[in-house]
Amino acid sequence: MKNALQFYRLLLTLYPRAFRAAFGAQMLQTFLDQYADVEASEGAVGLAFWLFLLADEARSIAEQHRRASAARLALAAALFLPLFAVFYAALVRVSLALPHPPVSGAGFLLALAGLLLLPGILGAVVSYTLAGVVTAGLAVARGTGGIGRA
């Protein structure tokens, strides 16, 4: 039982963090209940139990990662434009305030590209990070938690 529990604990670490935080402890308890039940009724836990468990967990882990990524990307996309606008405005303001030589031609285009690229990268990183924090927080709030002795 102890080894099985350790193995299942390890398996749970493959789920997205938010899902694990919301349901990990409950899943562990349900696994223990199921394991004890099979052991009591059949004398030992056989290969069929593990094969079914592994197939189900593999499917579920992939599905939860797909859902977590989709939700996070959707939120990040929604956050990107406002953040880009804020960073762009700040960068233009700072650039104009700093002393700079007059630019023209290729230099002007390069400066313009830099002005668009930098807030773009910054906006993408910040929006994706923020979306991760928000989706993880929401998932934990919805699942509300842990349980059991295990």
Partner 1 sequence: MTDIGAPEPLTPAVFHILLALANDEKHGYEIMKAVRQDSGGAVKMGNGTLYGSLKRMLADGLIADAGERAGSDDTRRKYYRLTDAGREAMYAEIRRYRDTLESVRRYALLPGGPPAEKATP
Question: Where on the chain is the footprint of partner 1 (CB under 8 A)?
Answer: 19, 22-23, 26-27, 29-31, 33-34, 37, 52-53, 55-57, 59-61, 63-64, 139, 142-145, 147-150
Give me the least distance between CB of 76 and partner 1, in Å please: 19
Give me the least distance between CB of 96 and partner 1, in Å please: 47
Name which of 22 and 83 has its Cβ closer to partner 1: 22
Give me the least distance between CB of 27 and partner 1, in Å please: 5
Name which of 60 and 86 has its Cβ closer to partner 1: 60
Give me the least distance between CB of 22 and partner 1, in Å please: 7
* Distance of alpha carbon 11 from alpha carbon 64, whole angstroms: 13
Q: Which of 87, 141, 80, 96 is nearest to 119 (CA)?
A: 87
Query: Are 132 and 81 within 8 A, CB to CB?
Result: no
* Distance of alpha carbon 34 from alpha carbon 31, whole angstroms: 5
Tokens of 28: 């562990």
Q: Which of 103, 94, 19 is nearest to 64 (CA)?
A: 19
The label of the residue with tokens 């830099």 reads 114
Query: Are 143 and 22 within 8 A, CB to CB?
Result: yes
Name which of 15 and 84 has its Cβ closer to partner 1: 15
Give me the least distance between CB of 65 and partner 1, in Å please: 11
Name which of 127 and 135 has its Cβ closer to partner 1: 135
Name which of 18 and 83 has its Cβ closer to partner 1: 18
3-class DSSP state of 81: helix
